[in-house]
């Protein structure tokens, strides 16, 4: 559990502690009945600025908990107040990697190593769900999470130039983005070796993808591909996050009309969402042949996401508005800086 200790214990202890806090806490799995109390915790920590819609809507949050798409540990006082949270979310119920989710402690309880205890408890959930790894989205206004996670074995796989809304505030860290959208560093943290897999990539991205996988140390056979799809119609799922300002189209089955499908997605989303993503399954040998067409639509390299629905994913990003400030992006390691340099060149 070194990643938990590295990522949470130092930050928790740097924050102020209240002598009035009731430290007789229970640490347990969240239930649907806790949804309102967790939403209250989020509001206490972030006011109205937290960008994940479900964490301000108890009914939506309870539904995700019931469907086992969110798995969380919470710290609860004897009166039922939720004062700490750490969780993960699944994109599909049978995925073997998960996104980390919402590490928070209400101000008067900080300094009691609550996040560390929550992280230790959440480790049992990793094993119960048979997870092989975690996907982190480290906000790039400081390098703490990047540094701790890479020290513990995590690998930067990409940079999402405008992933977070411009009004996000991080206590103790000045926002140098000058009102523009805030970048996230995409990191993968392995828990267990992932199953062997052949992935198919475009020649344009061979060097950068090789550099990522050389650090990931997963069992992957990498091939350059120019295969054509066998089916006509692309099957896709669209995920919109209005408060975050992002929309994503996940390609579930690659068809010959993929470019037309993504173009329609862009046309219907561009006015409402500053940032768009497209996810291509690298286990499908025909995905790679569409990268140049996607670049012609304004998409460019974002990063690699591992083990989603049996495939590693190439995520590409599109900035509908020039609301980014690359000079403000804080990176912890030379590999991250190399990724940023490549991504900016691929965008131009």
Shared domain check, 113 and 20: yes
What DSSP line would sit under 209-226, residue for residue? Answer: HHHHHHHH---EEEEE--
Give how far Cα 337 sits from Cα of 173, 175, 226, Å.
Answer: 20, 19, 30
Q: Indicate if 25 and 105 belong to the same structural domain.
A: yes
Give the up-direction half-sphere exposure of residue 145: CA atoms within 13 A in the CB hemisphere. 19
Based on the fold, state whether residues 94 and 212 are members of the same structural domain.
no
- In a domain, residue 269? The reply is yes
Helix (H) or strand (E) holding 83: strand 82-89
Whether residue 227 sits in one domain with residue 99: no
Strand 235-241 and strand 246-253: pairing? antiparallel
User: Has residue 307 been placed in a domain?
Assistant: yes
Chain mean pLDDT for the chain: 89
Tell me whether residue 146 is in a domain: no
The per-residue pLDDT for range 254-295, each reduced to its tens digit, is 999 999 999 999 999 989 999 999 999 999 999 999 999 999
| 42-82 residue pLDDT tens | 999 888 778 888 898 999 999 999 999 999 999 999 999 99
Same-domain status, 111 and 235: no
Return the closest-CA partner of residue 307 out of 128, 137, 96, 126: 96
Question: Are residue 53 and residue 127 in the same domain, yes or no?
Answer: yes
Let me know whether 112 and 230 are in one domain.
no
* Pair 124, 38 in one domain: yes
Assigned domain for 166 exists? no
Number of domains in the chain: 2
Q: Are residues 213 and 332 in the same domain?
A: yes
CA dist 267 and 155 (Å) reads 34
Q: Is 179 domain-assigned?
A: no
Domain limit, last residue, from 131, 159, 183: 131
Q: Quick one: how far is CA 315 from the chain centroid?
A: 11
Reported pTM: 0.89
Cβ atoms 229, 256 nearer than 8 A: yes
As a whole number of angstroms, the distance between CA 82 and CA 223 comes to 49
Residue 174: inside a domain? no
Q: Are residues 204 and 115 located together in one domain of the fold?
A: no
Which helix (H) or strand (E) segment holds residue 334: the answer is helix 334-347
Residue 189 lies in a domain: no
Last residue of a domain, one of 131, 155, 182: 131
177-209 in b/e form (b: 16+ CB < 10 A) is beebbbbbbbbbbbbeebeebebbbbeebeebb
For position 290, which CATH number holds? 3.40.630
Give the structural domain span for 223: 197-347
SS3 34: helix
Residue 122, pLDDT > 80, answer yes
CA torsion through residues 267, 269, 271, 277, sign = negative
| Last residue of one domain, picked from the residues 131, 166, 184 | 131
CATH value at residue 68:
3.40.630.30
For the stretch 213-266, pLDDT in tens is: 999 999 999 999 988 898 999 999 999 999 899 999 999 999 999 999 999 999
* Residue 7 DSSP symbol: I
Residue 298 reports pLDDT greater than 50: yes
Q: What share of the chain is helix, strand, coil (3-state, %, to 5)?
A: 35, 30, 35
The answer to whether residue 90 is domain-embedded is yes
């Amino acid at each position: 559990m070194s990643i938990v200790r590295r990522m949470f214990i130092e930050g928790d202890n740097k924050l102020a502690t209240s002598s009035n806090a009731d430290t007789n806490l229970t640490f347990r799995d969240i239930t649907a009945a806790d949804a309102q109390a967790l939403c209250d915790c989020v509001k206490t920590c972030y006011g109205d600025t937290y960008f994940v819609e479900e964490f301000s809507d108890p009914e939506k949050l309870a539904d995700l908990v019931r469907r086992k798409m969110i798995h969380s540990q919470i710290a609860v006082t004897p009166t039922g107040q939720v004062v700490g949270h750490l969780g993960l979310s699944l994109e599909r119920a049978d995925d073997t990697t998960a996104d980390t989710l919402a590490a928070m402690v209400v101000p008067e309880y900080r300094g009691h190593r609550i996040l560390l205890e929550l992280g230790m408890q959440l480790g049992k959930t990793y094993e119960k769900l048979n997870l092989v790894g975690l996907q982190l989205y480290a906000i790039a206004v400081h390098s703490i999470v990047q540094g701790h996670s890479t020290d513990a074995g995590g690998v930067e796989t990409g940079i999402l130039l405008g992933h977070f809304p411009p009004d996000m505030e991080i206590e103790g860290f000045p926002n140098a983005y000058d009102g523009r959208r805030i970048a996230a560093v995409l990191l993968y943290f392995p828990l267990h070796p992932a199953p062997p897999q052949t992935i198919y990539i475009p020649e344009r991205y061979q060097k950068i993808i090789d550099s990522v996988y050389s650090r990931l140390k997963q069992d992957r056979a990498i091939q350059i591909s120019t295969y054509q799809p066998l089916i006509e119609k692309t099957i896709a799922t669209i995920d919109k996050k209005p408060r975050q300002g992002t929309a994503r189209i996940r390609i579930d089955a690659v068809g010959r009309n993929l470019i037309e499908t993504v173009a329609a997605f862009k046309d219907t989303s561009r006015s409402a969402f500053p940032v768009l993503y497209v996810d291509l399954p690298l286990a499908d040998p025909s995905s790679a042949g569409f990268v140049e067409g996607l670049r012609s639509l304004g998409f460019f390299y974002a990063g690699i996401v591992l083990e989603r629905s049996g495939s590693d994913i190439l995520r590409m990003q599109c900035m509908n508005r020039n609301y980014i400030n690359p000079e403000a992006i804080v990176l912890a390691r030379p590999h991250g800086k190399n990724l940023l340099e490549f991504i900016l060149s691929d965008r131009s």
